[in-house]
Amino acid sequence: MKQDENTKYVKLGITGAAVLAFGFAIAYILNQSANIAAGVRAVFNILKPFLYGALIAYILAPMCNRMDERFLKWFPNATEKQKKGMKFLSIAVAIICAVTIVVLLIILILPQVWDSTVKIIRLLPSRLAYCNRMIDKLLTDQPELQTYFNHFSSQIESGLNDILNANSSMMQTIQGIVNNITVQLIEVLSVFKNMFLGFLIAVYLLASRKLFGAQAKLLLYGIFPNKWARIIEEEVRYTDKMFNGFFVGKIIDSAIIGLICFAGTSLLGFESAAFISVVIGVTNIIPFFGPFIGAIPCALLLLLGSNPWDALYFLIFIVILQQVDGNIIGPKILGNTTGVSSFWVLFSILLFGGLWGLVGMVIAVPLFGVLYDIIRKLTTRGLKRNRREDMLEEYDENFHEKKEEKDSKPSISDKINERINERINKNVNNK
C-alpha cells in the first residue's frame, strides 16, 4: 500500500515537473519569438534554392514519368543500363523544355518592359499637362475649387523647388534612389541565382524521386503505427492528386488564355500585345483575383500610351475573356478538381493571400481543398462513431446534388489525375 502511494506521488511529481518545463518552454519561445522568427527566416533564405528545386521537380515529375512510360513501351527489352540512359534522357528533355520556356518569357518580357518604361517617361509630361488643362477647364465655373487646386499645386511646386535647390537634400534623395535600385538589382540577381541552383537541384531530385519516395514510406511506417501510417499515406496521395491536378489544369488554362489574349490584343491593335498577354496569362493562375491583378496595370499602361481609349476597350475585352474562361474553358479543363464551393474559394484566397502574399493566393485553393477533405473525413468518422449516420444522409440528400445516371465527360484535369494515380499504384506494386 505504501509502495502504491509512493508511486502515485512520483507520477504526480513527474507530471508537475513536465507541466513546469512545458510552461517555461512556452514562455521562452514567446520571449524569444523575434529571434526565433529571424532564425527561421535565415534558414528559409539559405534553403531557397532547395525550395525552388523541389517546386521545379514537382512540376516536371509528371512529364518525366510520362516519357519514362513511353520509352519503356518503345523499348520493352531494354537493359538496366539502357533504362538509366532513357531516364536521364527524359529528365534532360523536361529540364530543357522548362529552361526554354523561362528564357523565352524573359526574352519576350524584358524588351517590352523597357520600351513601355521609356514610352511612359516620354509621354508622362504631356499627359500631366493635358490633365492639368482638363482640370482647369472643369474648374472654370468653380472658383473656390480652382483656388484650392492652385494652392495645392503651388505647395507641391515649392516643395519640389526646395528639394532641387537644397544640395544636401538632393544628394540624400539621389542616394536613396541609388540604394533602392541597388537593393532591387541584388534581389533580382538573387532570384536568378536561386533559379539556376534550383534547376540543378531539380535534376538530382528527379533522378532520385523514386528512391526518396521509398525512403519516405519506410520512415512513415517506421515511426507511426500501421493504422496511422496508412491514413497519412492516403492523405499525402490525395494532396498530391489535388495539387498536381489543380496546377497542371491551371497552367494549361492560363496558357490558353494567354494565347487568346495575344490574338485579341493583336487584332485590336493594342500596344505591347505580347507583354500584356504574358501578364494576363501568368496572373490567371491566381483564382478569382488573378484577372484583376493582371488587367489593372495593363490598363494603366495602355492609358499612358498613344491612344488612352485602348484602356477602356482592353477592360471590356478582359471581362468578356474572363467570362469565357470561367464558364467554358475553365470547367472543361479543371472540372470540379478541388470540390470547394465558390464561397470557400474566396475565403481561402483572402486568408492565405493575407498570410503569404501572392504565393498564398496561388496555393490557397488546393491547400484549402486538402484541409476541407480532412475536416470532412473527421466529421464523417465522428458521426459514424456516435451512430448519427442519419444526419449525414439528410445532409447529402438536402445539399448535395444527385449524380445523373449518364455521367458527364471527365475533364482534362480528371484524366491527368487518373493517370497519376495509375502511375503511383504501379510504382507501389513494383516496389
For 44-83, what is each residue's pLDDT tens digit? Answer: 888 888 988 998 998 888 888 888 888 888 888 888 888 8
Residue 368 neighbours by CB distance under 10 Å:
20
Whether residue 251 is predicted with pLDDT greater than 60 in this model: the reply is: yes
Distance CA 116, CA 318 (A): 20
- pLDDT bracket for residue 169 (50, 70, 90): low
For residue 170, what are the contacts with CB-CB under 8 A and spacing of at least 6?
163, 164
Min mean pLDDT across 1-5, 76-80, 193-197 is at 1-5
**pLDDT tier, 160 (very low <50, low <70, confident <90, very high otherwise):** low
* Mean pLDDT calculated for residue range 153-160: 65
Cβ of 158: how many Cβ atoms within 10 Å? 10
The overall average pLDDT reported for the chain is 79
Tell me, what DSSP letter sits at residue 409?
P
Helix, strand, or coil (residue 270): coil
Q: What is the pTM of this model?
A: 0.70
Q: Mean pLDDT, to the nearest integer, of 240-244?
A: 86
Q: Which residue has the higher pLDDT, 140 or 199?
A: 199
**In the predicted structure, residue 86 carries a pLDDT above the cut 50:** yes
Check if the beta carbon of residue 303 is closer than 8 Å to that of residue 128: no
Q: Is the pLDDT of residue 21 over 70?
A: yes
Highest mean pLDDT among 18-32, 217-231, 297-311, 379-393: 217-231
- How confident is residue 431, by pLDDT bands cut at 50, 70 and 90? very low
- Sign (positive/negative) of CA torsion 48, 234, 65, 339? negative
Distance CA 213, CA 61 (A): 12
> What is the band of 403 on the pLDDT scale with cuts at 50, 70, 90?
very low
C-alpha grid cell, residue 99: 529552361
- Tens of pLDDT, residue by residue over 408-420, are 455 555 555 566 5
Q: What distance in Å separates the CA atoms of residue 399 and residue 89, rounded to the nearest whole number?
A: 50
**How many Å apart are CA 218 and CA 206, to the nearest integer?**
19
Q: How far apart are the first and last CA of the chain?
A: 56
pLDDT at 404 over 70: no
Would you state the pLDDT for residue 218?
Answer: 92
Whose CA is closest to 353, among 285, 292, 286?
286
Average pLDDT on 17-41 reads 76
CA distance 102 to 97: 9
pLDDT range class, residue 174, cuts 50, 70, 90: low
Per-residue pLDDT at 185 exceeds 70: yes
Q: Between these two residues, 1 and 231, which has the higher pLDDT value? A: 231
Rounded Cα distance, 394 and 81, in Å? 59
pLDDT confidence tier of residue 148, bands split at 50, 70 and 90 = confident
Residue type, 389: E
In the predicted model, is pLDDT for residue 206 greater than 70? yes
CA–CA separation, 327 and 38 (whole Å): 45
**Predicted pLDDT at 96:** 92
Contact 244, 420 (CB under 8 A): yes
Residue of higher predicted confidence among 38 and 123: 38
Residue 406 has pLDDT above 60, yes or no: no
Alpha-carbon distance 188 to 382, whole Å? 50
Q: What is the pLDDT of residue 170?
A: 53
More reliable by pLDDT, 138 or 344: 344
